[in-house]
A and B are shown apart, each in its own frame.
Chain A
Amino acid sequence: GAVVSQHPSWVICKSGTSVKIECRSLDFQATTMFWYRQFPKQSLMLMATSNEGSKATYEQGVEKDKFLINHASLTLSTLTVTSAHPEDSSFYICSAQHSPSGYTFGSGTRLTVV
């Protein structure tokens, strides 16, 4: 149980375009999801907390207008990287909370902006 599906697993896009990443909880409802960014050989950096039906809470230093988060249903949160640039290339990971201390991570999305 507590399966999270993240899609796509990898994406290459041109500089200036937007990319949408989906995070779905398949067998549970997730009122809270988290989006992380991970640079090579580094830890996970929390970008934002996504709450169903309300605005996301962004961590300090994360541009809200660049990383749009939508959590329109209890099973789906999306992260849209707008006007992507090469420096946005990274590994993006979502996690969904299925209990007060239970988190399940998605398999991650490798974004490459060329």
Chain B
Amino acid sequence: QQQVKQSPQSLIVQKGGISIINCAYENTAFDYFPWYQQFPGKGPALLIAIRPDVSEKKEGRFTISFNKSAKQFSLHIMDSQPGDSATYFCAAGYSGGYQKVTFGTGTKLQVIP
């Protein structure tokens, strides 16, 4: 019930293309869905997050799409750049109280020139 499934495991996209990473969760009590970006040898950094009361959130080139009925959410990176090459983790948790988040398995993105 606490699992968050993430796909694909790895992704290669050409510069300027769209990178799409998908996640699915099981626990309907989750109400906070962040995405983290991690560079090698560094800790994850929050990229963008969404709550289930909206179906889409956009920040710059990054967009989260959320489908509550399907219990799925995805990250779209528009105009992908080589600097976006990193590992991306989706996560799910609770917006109220101080509780842990559950991470997806990660997607290694490589943007080639």
Contact = CB atoms under 8 A, between A and B. Distances in A.
A7 to B, nearest CB: 12
Interface in B63-113: 89, 93-98, 100-101, 103-106, 108
Secondary structure at chain B's binding surface: helix, strand, loop or mixed?
loop
Interface in A17-73: 31-32, 34, 41-44, 46, 49
B103 A101 contact: no
Q: What bracket does the count of chain A residues touching chain B fall in?
A: 20 to 34
A106 B93 contact: no
A33 to B, nearest CB: 10
A60 B104 CA distance: 18
Interface residues of B, number: 24
A94 B100 CA distance: 12
A42 B95 contact: no
Nearest to B49: A101
A93 interface: yes
Interface in A56-114: 91, 93-95, 97, 100-101, 103-108, 110
Contact of A100 (B46, B49, B89, B97): B97
A105 B45 contact: yes
Contacts of B95: 100-101
Given A43-B103, A101-B32, A106 B98 contact: no
Interface of A: 4, 6, 31-32, 34, 41-44, 46, 49, 91, 93-95, 97, 100-101, 103-108, 110
Interface of B: 32, 34, 36, 41-46, 49, 89, 93-98, 100-101, 103-106, 108
21 contacts: A4-B43, A6-B43, A32-B98, A41-B106, A43-B104, A43-B105, A43-B106, A44-B44, A91-B41, A93-B44, A94-B43, A95-B43, A97-B98, A100-B96, A100-B97, A101-B32, A101-B34, A101-B96, A105-B36, A106-B43, A108-B41
